[in-house]
Chain A
Amino acid sequence: MTPASPRNQLLYGTLDLLILRTLVYGPAHGHAIAGHIQRVSEDALRIETGSLYPALHRLETRGWIAAEWKTSDKGKRAKYYRLTTTGRRQLLVEQSRWQQLSVAVTRVLRPAD
């Protein structure tokens, strides 16, 4: 469903993982989540809003994250997302799946012994 722009394609499903992981540190609004991922990845991963908000709303629909309207530190109303219990469980599943994948990919890339 989500068109990936050719510049920084994320592997399908990884955006969900990144969002869930980010929310482990506490509730955050969409802009903060995108900023966090960009900062931590040292600008390697730029999340396009066209992908971010659909993903957030999809996760919310699935019940992995919950949203709440709160006043931000600047005094404006913002929608804060937080991890739910099922979301935490899902994060573990996604993380282990990612690890399996990355191990597998690394194996393939490793020069033959």
Chain B
Amino acid sequence: MLRQVNNRFRSLWRRRRKDAELEEEIRFHLAQEAEERIQAGVPPEQARAEARRSFGNVTLTRELTREAWGWAPAERLLKDIGAAFRMMRRNAGYTCAVVLTLALGIGLNAPMYEMLSRLFLQPPPHIDEPDRVRRLWVSERIDPGDRGASTGRSWVVDAMQWLDFNALPADNALIDGVAGHRVTFRTNGRGQRAENLTVSWVTGEFFDFLGVAATVGRSIVAGDDDLAAQPVAVIGDGYRRQRFDTPEEALGTTLSFDDVTYLVVGVMPPGFSGPRSNAVDVWLPLKHAATASRGNSWRRYGTTFYLTAFLRLASGATEEAASAAATAAVRAARAGSRFPDSLDREATVALGPILRTRGPVTLRRHMRLPLIAGGITFVVLLIAAVNMSNLLMLRVAARRRELAVRYTLGLGRWGIGRLLVTESLVLAALSGVVALAVAAVTGDALRRTLLPSHQLTEDPLGATAIGFTGIAVLGIGLAAAVAPAVYAARSRGIERLDSSRSASALGTPVRTGLIVVQAALSVVLLSGTAVFYRSFEAARQVDVGYAKEHLLTVTLGSFHGDTRVDGLDGAPLNESAIQAMEARVRDLPEVLDVAQGTSSPMSGSGAAYADLRIEGLDGLPFRSGPHVNFTTPNFFDVAGLEVREGRGFTEWDREGTRKVAVVSTSFARRAWPGRSAVGRCLFVSSNADCTTVVGVVEPAVNWTLPEADPVYYLPISQASADPTLSGWTSIQRALLVRTASSPGRVEAPVLAALAELFPELPGHHVRNLSTQFASRIRTWRTGTRLFAASAALAVLLAAIGLYAVIAFGVRQRELEFGIRRALGARASRLLRMVLARGFSLAAAGVAAGTLAALWAGRFVEPLLFDGRSPRDPLAFAVAALVLLAIAVMASFLPARRASRADPRRALEAE
């Protein structure tokens, strides 16, 4: 290797010397020639000039002699690259246009591809033989107890109840090991400085199963997953970097989750995130963590706690056999459990690849967005490539003379092809370098926009992104040169030096074809933007029920999905502290009113089932829900929920008075279709008395947009007095704060009050509702922005391309325009002629693009809000108009030039 490099250098060095020698040889020849003439009596000055003349073309001789030396491939390449760079320097504007457009195209695609491959293609890093690891998916009927309308529907999830997991055969001829984890968000520490971390609760075999060792310290081992053992924790490298300079510093420190203190015993290698692509901060032994969070009931019943299970296929074992074995084990465990009738004993276990995104279940919306985005950026890359080919083509046409000279000098068709390919590759490589800079800037932003809750552990500009850039540069460099090279080789004009004037038609079909393709792709992206924008607008204007502006929520009872809800054995809230908190907040100058509820709007949590029966119905007529919310009388007022029928709660609805309820319209419509809800009975919990419905309020969106789940409301004062319901109200509470202006100004004093009265609660429990709403419609907003950015880029590219083609055509036909002028054509007529050309090219693009967009609509359809159609005529019309307008603008400058063609010059030239 080293010797090869050495040889290369030596041959380069030799070449230099040879060049110098050739120079001297030619100089000697000239001197000799002049000498002879001087001796014959010619004056020296004249003699030298004659000598030079008789020698002929010195440069040509030099060039040809060099050819005779024969080129080593590497030297030939260097020479071609040199020529490419000279060409680029001479055409700086052209070079900039090509390099920038391509760099943007590649620079967006490289991190995008990297992200997609992490999400969908590559197994997570550091796992031993990831191909043998399988993710377990359980398929079962949702409601085996045959209650309600949902009977018979089944679901497939990659979560397994503890009962089933424990039954899996850990080690036999088919299965080489089993491990499970559950990823949750937990708060480390207490008070406002507490931090929210991504925590993975793992079974004892987890790290051994994956075949991963800690970089420092040790990982969690089987002995740690025992309530008698000391609680230990292992942290991820990313989290370690946030807190400690070196991994060693982390060892021996402690973390605290759910009142249990864990000793950090190890730090995992960089990039390790377990069997998923999303980063994990901390790993804890499952038994400690789950018990601390839920008490002991989760293990006793085994049906309330779910975790994601993995197994490792034994060598030679088939997937079918292993999944059959797992299915059999799960069914047996369910049959032998304490409640065999409430479990689906026909459940099956399927095996999927380690990455969840490739599992047997179709992707969720937020995971689909990156895929669509990948498609969009790829289209932009295609446009950039087409543009580059187009511009190269124009350069070829403009350089016909130069190429013709080179051709007659014996460069040959292959030589010209080689030259063009080299130029194209050099341009592409230059773009690649710029693209890496673009990728470094955009990569991170791209990830944060598309997958804000997803922390990929690898750098955005990783090996994959760089590899992608390399392949893209090579591929595009070669592909973009094909059309120009074919054109150069075919065009007879190349061989005729005198053909430059009559060349207006050269390469026209290919060139215009490329422009139409570009315009079509732009139309696809433009119409995508318009479609997405309309969907985003629809999502933005959705009525969430709550008057979401100027509304602040303060969560006082902690009821995250994993905490204390299941067993109802959480610590009761301090009722006097809640009242004190409400009073403090109410006294703040900007605050208009404060209400209480057990569930805060759009929190998505606290949405709990209570054992509900509806008068006159056997089951519950709801697809999901109903959710219950225990509220104070002013809740509907503060939240901005309109009472549509009957009344809301009043101060009179309290302990001892008639039990009352308010339901949402969505509840009422399903429970009593076509009839009034007021006066009906609900039987809440095991309570035998009738709870009378006294009012109906507008639906409030809680978790899923756009549909509002059915909700029923009960007065908090009545529920607290009822022993079957007080379990709920005692542990869940949220304050709803209606402010006079922007809630931002109230946040600080509210936080201060929270720190004083609830010192253990983290600060993120204070939320601004409109911000929360904005995050909820993020998918559509991101889609719109992404499409808009790509479309802007694509339109810019199309405009450059169109401008180049039209301008070139005009320059070629300048004489013709001059003659037309001389013959009396009006300037306005010439202007129209050129504009019409640009317009017709764009129109062809619009037609093709619209067809393509109609076809591609199916891919974005599932992403649009509330089933909006991707074939929105208005969106398509807008896209077409924009492109046509751009086309006319792009052709305007060349058109003006044509209309001002000078008739005199045309006549002189002829």
Contacts and interface: CB of A to CB of B under 8 A. Distances in A.
A30 B29 contact: yes
A53, A55, A74, most chain B CB atoms within 10 A? A53
B68 A57 contact: yes
B56 A49 contact: yes
Interface stretch (A75-83, A90-98, A105-113): A75-83
A3 interface: yes
Given A3-B408, A49-B55, A29 B65 contact: no
A3, A48, A49, A50, most chain B CB atoms within 10 A? A49
Given A3-B408, A50-B57, A31 B29 contact: yes
Interface in A1-46: 1-3, 29-32
A28 to B, nearest CB: 12
A54 B67 contact: yes
Contacts of B410: 1-3
Given A31-B33, A76-B31, A79-B21, A53 B26 contact: yes
A8 to B, nearest CB: 13
Contacts of A57: 22, 65, 68-69
B546 to A, nearest CB: 84
A53 B65 contact: yes
Contacts of A49: 26, 29, 55-56, 61
Interface size class of B (residues with CB under 8 A): 20 to 34
Contacts of B68: 1, 53-55, 57-58, 61
Given A3-B408, A49-B61, A53-B22, A61 B28 contact: no
B396 to A, nearest CB: 23
A32 B389 CA distance: 51
Interface string B9-29: 000000000000110111011
B26 to A, nearest CB: 7
A30 B67 CA distance: 18
Given A31-B32, A53-B65, A79 B57 contact: no
A48 B32 CA distance: 15
B64 interface: yes
A31 B37 CA distance: 14
B228 interface: no
A1 B158 CA distance: 71
A76 B35 CA distance: 12
B617 interface: no
Contacts of B874: none
B60 interface: yes
Contact of A61 (B22, B57, B70, B409): B70
Interface in B64-79: 64-65, 67-70
A30 to B, nearest CB: 6
B28 A79 contact: yes
SS class, residues of chain B in contact with chain A: helix
Nearest to A78: B28
B703 to A, nearest CB: 78
Interface string A49-73: 1100111111001000000010010
Interface residues of A, number: 24
Contacts of A32: 32
A61 B14 CA distance: 13
A61 B67 contact: no
A58 B67 CA distance: 9
A50 B64 contact: yes
Interface in B21-51: 21-22, 24-26, 28-29, 31-33, 35
Contacts of B64: 1-2, 50, 53-54
Contact of B25 (A3, A54, A61, A79): A79
A29 B22 contact: no
Nearest to A51: B64
Contacts of B25: 29-30, 53, 78-79
A24 B697 CA distance: 115
A79 B24 contact: yes
A31 B70 CA distance: 23
A74 to B, nearest CB: 7
Interface in B385-439: 408-410
B409 A3 contact: yes
Contacts of B69: 57, 61
B28 A77 contact: yes
A78 B61 CA distance: 18
A50 B894 CA distance: 44
Nearest to A57: B68
Nearest to A58: B68
A50 B60 contact: yes
A74 B409 CA distance: 36
Nearest to A5: B56
Contacts of B26: 49, 53
A77 B24 CA distance: 9
Contacts of A79: 21, 24-25, 28
A72 B27 CA distance: 14
A1 B33 contact: no
A110 to B, nearest CB: 37
A50 B62 CA distance: 8
A29 B60 contact: no
A83 to B, nearest CB: 18
Interface in B644-669: none
A56 B409 CA distance: 19
A31 B32 CA distance: 7
Contacts of B70: 61
Contacts of A58: 68
Contacts of A3: 408-410
B238 to A, nearest CB: 61
A29 B28 contact: yes
Interface of B: 21-22, 24-26, 28-29, 31-33, 35, 55-57, 60-61, 64-65, 67-70, 408-410
24 contacts: A1-B64, A1-B68, A1-B410, A3-B409, A31-B28, A31-B29, A48-B56, A49-B61, A50-B57, A50-B60, A53-B22, A53-B61, A54-B61, A54-B67, A54-B68, A55-B68, A57-B65, A57-B69, A58-B68, A61-B70, A74-B35, A77-B24, A78-B28, A79-B24
In the A-B complex, the 8 residue pairs with the smallest Cβ-Cβ separation, listed nearest first, are: A54-B68, A58-B68, A31-B32, A57-B68, A53-B65, A54-B64, A54-B65, A31-B29
Given A29-B28, A54-B65, 12 more contacts: A1-B64, A2-B64, A3-B410, A29-B29, A49-B29, A49-B55, A50-B57, A54-B67, A56-B65, A61-B69, A61-B70, A72-B28
